[in-house]
Amino acid sequence: MIAIAPRARDRFLIALLACTGLRIGERLGLHRGDMHLLASSRAAGCGIEGPHVHVRRRTDNPNRALAKSRFSRNVPVTADLVALYTDYQYERDRWPRPRSRRWSS
């Protein structure tokens, strides 16, 4: 499935589910700040070594995603998964951002 996925985002999401065993609801509830993909995330205030994701139960997700477990946990990720995330971010940054809908006076 990863090899035939047309976009880097899709490849990353498929690999994330396959490599970590996260449930879809847990994946949909992840925020960018939950992804600690460096060898050390101490600068971000995290004392867990190695690349990992934080799975947290949130009741305020805009997409209403909810992790089943009431207990937070950290899931280690592989270097290959980090590379797929890097590809996804590179692809995402190449597309122009939508213009703000604010009215100018």
**pLDDT averages per 10-residue partition of the chain, 105 residues:** 91 94 90 90 90 92 86 93 94 75 48
- pLDDT value, residue 102: 52
Query: Rounded distance, CA 12 to CA 92, Å?
Result: 12
Local structure of residue 65 (DSSP, 8 states): -
Please give the model's pTM, rounded to 2 decimal places: 0.77
Query: Rounded distance, CA 90 to CA 5, Å?
Result: 16
- pLDDT value, residue 98: 67
Local structure of residue 51 (DSSP, 8 states): S
Evaluate whether 16 touches 1 at the Cβ level (below 8 Å): no
- pLDDT value, residue 67: 85
- pLDDT value, residue 37: 92
- pLDDT value, residue 53: 95
Query: Rounded distance, CA 96 to CA 62, Å?
Result: 23
**Distance from the Cα of residue 4 to its chain's centroid:** 20
